[in-house]
A and B are shown apart, each in its own frame.
Chain A
């Protein structure tokens, strides 16, 4: 399946079982078993390392936990293991990549055509015919088209390959290592397994290390796990899973706090966790974009038909009696006539126009083809933090006076505020303000409060901003209540307190304020503040507290309890020595003030965007590293879980039956945690995805994200994410969307699209534009297909009926590559059908870019009409010059005989060397303005086409270069009857289609095509001389 799946945690083992399904494929299975063994080995190693005693570690790595390794041994290990750095995967050589770009289906055909041209030119040259440079021009043009398109494709690919480079930025340059008992600073890449390293606050961890000694060491694991809070690191082994245990710190994570922790390196370079993520990300094959698949499908059809037609007429020509060389040239000409040379360029330009439009709306598309992918997307796996939410802890609810109050959580403080008149609120606000160590960074007066930078942890920051918004001028407020002592939060107490002098200099009491885990706070309280009154905390109030606590917890919010007490003036007089370690002061019998709960609130635009996705038939699945309750609360908040949807657990609770008895299909919603996921087989996961339309995955690891994405893939999956840990899933997804502001470089590099404003709502724009461009490309291709037939038929008639050649290859190339590109591209500017966002996403297996209906319509109907129009014009022009239609038939050999200088026409006139009259013109009928008003670009495209056509036709000198001759103005109007026919024909079918709106074919066959057809039918006839 994928060559480079490495485990990060124990989960992987189980999830790997799902790949064991394809029993038939012996080879693959063997490979997998091998890999499984390898993985198992890895896992074991990690486990042992986290459990090992120091002695075992020393034995294993031949090192010392105090003196480190010897330099010489370290050198040996370095030679054995290689340097401690992330190695880029072995890529295909650049020239191979470039060569691949030149060897696509159409390109191969064009190469063959070019070679045939060269051969033909060579033969002509050797026969001494120096006048005929057509074949040479043709060959050169064809090669130029292939090379230019190839360069473009190569450039596109080149831009999006450099993933590993972004991981390199994460890696520290220098590290302090202890070797031979001495501390040294060395380059990080020289570190080896068993080295003893020292890290302190601010350093990046230089490899995966097992902590030996530490003091209050905290690391930021957010890039790896998505946990935004700092994680404590200490020597004890707390969990058997290496990712969860506290005694292992990972390569590239930052040590936030702590002084001089030491650790022993247990993994270096690509064997580290980050190394594995990096290989995972770079190793996951880029899925082919749906539009690439569609275009390949189209190209296959075209190439197949081109060869079929070419070969058929090659045989026919041989049968009729043409020489082998001639028949070969016919083959070439048919290929040139049939292959839409300008198509790839048109598609690229259309896509880049859309990409530009998206960029203006804050979506930067890295991979051009990804522009359309969002339009076909039927599942979006969205990360929670930062994408759906503001990535900012904010106070959401307060509980005081036995009432839950909602705070304003909007980004711009536009929401409703709560009643702040209560005395209790004043007390609560005072506790929240004083019992808080967070401070604003200086010089931020001009910045709105929610956006100011704060020094402190997430919840304190939330409280600081909240109080600043509600109370105001917090720094000054704190200064008025001078802090005497404080006890910081620790995990055993689970509270934080501080003692302050009072604002009133005459009041000599001290005020003790405390906040912490609500149940711990409640334990220490004996009274409760209700409407400013201290009431005894009896059973009834306890119950009220419990209810409120459960309610807020159920919302997925982090709840803190607040209480205070005025210390007895006599017992604690001014100057009393408060000891924070001994806590020689009252810490019980306090007065409970209230609860404040915080959450990372959803962005204001998200619920609407999720709703839009839903109407557009797109399923939004939340995949987050956060806790299930929080995940669910946010999901419900933004509409991923809709109102009234229940999970299996909810139903069980409501019906008071065991979970097992609930019919899973009754539950619309489902929340699956990483722990549950690890025990599920892939079938179970597929079942879950199928049965529950509203899915939330919580506590997931990077691998699990990958597995979820793979399970969804069958339909087109978009993944949003920002962390390093998201990068494999971003890469694996059909379209990876990274956050521009919060996103790590690794995520941005793995993604196909970047949201500059981190706003989920931008995805909706992407979907809309993607769908629009798909529809518009359909129009472009319909236009291209229609054109093919009138380009091809002249050759077929030329070969079979031997009329003088109506339309030469050079002319065809001019039409394909010069005059027709702009009109094709202008179709990309077509406006969206109003209901574009109310349709379901297209089914990639059924709704093809080119389907039978479209081909039949373009080829056999409109194309046929145009061909007839072309021949009408051709025969008219010939007849008016003196060559009646019947005479033309079979005239070819005499017409092309260079030595025949007195060929008689229908009037008995004798013509000299008619070869010189390979007349061509590209003329156009001015399309009635009526039809083009809907799209201004199309008008300019037509004007452009006219001008260019006229330039080619009438510019003096053109006859000498390309044998183009000016055509008569009258001949432009000959095909008008056929134009009218196309119009009528199209109107009739539209009448039918109108009765069934919603049919996608409606706009393809609309007026646009009609009038473009008129243009075309005039192009060919005129050029067909």
Chain B
């Protein structure tokens, strides 16, 4: 039976070969070199062409973009609030320096750009006024000195209050190009009103506004011994502006919440 089938197949193949020969010219045309459409050696050419076309369209597309102004901003219209140190839960043992060192390092790193020496090069701006400078190609940057954060500047207290169990948390509002714009736990704000001053806005984008630093608010949590080993829930919101801070889905839009837990265990 198998033999028979094989035989059949052979014959079939012969027939096929014959038919193939007859059809060859036609098949050549469709999938063969001479027509040049899909012969393997021409595939690279084809892909090369496609890649070229892709690059061209990309280039044309990038040309249409303004290098300073994003084409669409609807998805970042509501800037988020971010805290430093960066963690959803800040938990540490005040007696153990290695325990909170990473948080302190983060804060130092963030504040490097706000060093007074650097900031003194920037201009002083008018308080409570938007620093609009649309007409200038290079925008000036408003001064925000690290020292204005005082106890939370890390200058006087190198541990940002972590050692004494009254940690500083710095709140930063995500910068968004061209945006024009306060808790029962004992807290201390720096600058004192916890304000993000208008003078730091608008932001003109990375290219035109290269040294820009956004204003910061530092919060010193004045925790007492009774608060130790208890998780403290803190939420900060941007208020007094048109910014949304109540989106159920996006927990970082115009607000930020974090937990702090301080313990005091002697080692």
Interface residues of A (CB under 8 A from B): 1, 19, 21-22, 24-25, 686, 714, 843, 845-846, 853, 856-857, 860-861, 864-865, 868, 871-872, 875-876, 879-882, 884-885, 899, 901-902, 904-913, 916-917, 960, 968, 974, 977-978, 981, 988-989, 992-993, 995-996, 998-999, 1001
Contacts and interface: CB of A to CB of B under 8 A. Distances in A.
Contacts of A906: 206
Contact of B205 (A843, A857, A908, A911): A908
B232 interface: no
B2 interface: yes
A998 B27 CA distance: 11
B109 to A, nearest CB: 14
B150 interface: no
A859 to B, nearest CB: 11
Interface string B59-74: 0011001001111110
B245 to A, nearest CB: 12
Given A21-B3, A875-B58, A992-B30, A861 B76 contact: no
Contact of A875 (B2, B61, B76): B61
A916 B250 contact: yes
A898 to B, nearest CB: 9
Q: Which of A860, A871, A901 has the most CB of B within 10 A?
A: A901
B61 A876 contact: yes
A845 B12 contact: yes
Interface stretch (B46-54, B111-119, B190-198): B46-54
Contacts of B205: 907-909
Nearest to A19: B1
B82 A881 contact: no
B65 A853 contact: no
Given A871-B54, A881-B70, A910-B79, A902 B30 contact: no
B175 A864 contact: no
Contact of B253 (A24, A846, A912, A960): A912
Given A910-B82, A912-B252, A901 B174 contact: yes
Interface in B214-267: 249-253, 256
Contacts of B203: 908
Given A714-B8, A857-B38, A968 B57 contact: no
A879 B30 contact: no
A880 B54 contact: no
B76 A911 contact: yes
Given A911-B80, A999-B30, 16 more contacts: A686-B4, A843-B16, A861-B46, A879-B71, A884-B62, A885-B58, A901-B174, A901-B252, A902-B80, A905-B70, A908-B206, A909-B175, A910-B79, A978-B53, A996-B26, A999-B26
B124 interface: no
Given A879-B65, A908-B205, A989-B30, A981 B38 contact: no
B30 A993 contact: yes
Contacts of A992: 29-30, 35, 37
Given A846-B16, A912-B80, A853 B30 contact: yes
Given A24-B2, A868-B53, A996 B80 contact: no
14 contacts: A845-B12, A846-B16, A868-B53, A872-B54, A875-B58, A881-B72, A911-B80, A911-B174, A916-B249, A968-B72, A977-B53, A992-B30, A996-B25, A999-B30
Contacts of B4: 21, 686
A21 B5 CA distance: 11
Contacts of B16: 843, 845-846
B75 A881 contact: yes
A390 to B, nearest CB: 38
A686 B256 CA distance: 85
Contacts of A989: 30, 35, 37
Chain B interface size range: 35 or more
B173 to A, nearest CB: 9
A714 B206 CA distance: 73
Contact of B72 (A880, A885, A999): A880
B2 A981 contact: no
Interface of B: 1-4, 8, 12, 16, 25-27, 29-31, 35, 37-38, 43, 46-47, 50-51, 53-54, 57-58, 61-62, 65, 68-73, 75-76, 79-80, 82, 86-88, 172, 174-177, 203, 205-207, 209, 212, 249-253, 256
Contacts, number: 150
Contact of A22 (B3, B26, B88, B252): B3
A864 B47 contact: yes
A909 B252 contact: no
A871 B54 CA distance: 8
Contacts of A978: 53
A301 to B, nearest CB: 18
Contact of A879 (B27, B62, B82, B207): B62
B29 to A, nearest CB: 5
Contacts of A21: 1, 3-4
Nearest to A904: B206
Contacts of B31: 853, 856
A998 B2 CA distance: 35
A992 B29 CA distance: 6
Contacts of A1001: 30
A244 B198 CA distance: 112
B47 to A, nearest CB: 7
A21 B3 CA distance: 9
Contacts of B2: 22, 24-25
Nearest to A919: B75
A913 B71 contact: no
A910 B175 CA distance: 5
A978 B212 CA distance: 41
A992 B80 CA distance: 59
Nearest to A852: B31
A901 B38 CA distance: 48
A76 B185 CA distance: 99
B250 A880 contact: no
B85 to A, nearest CB: 12
A698 B92 CA distance: 99
B76 A909 contact: yes
Contact of B80 (A861, A868, A899, A901): A901
B42 to A, nearest CB: 11
Nearest to B248: A960
B66 to A, nearest CB: 10
Contacts of A981: 53
Contacts of B57: 872, 977
Contacts of B53: 868, 977-978, 981
A910 B78 CA distance: 11
Contacts of A901: 80, 82, 174, 252, 256
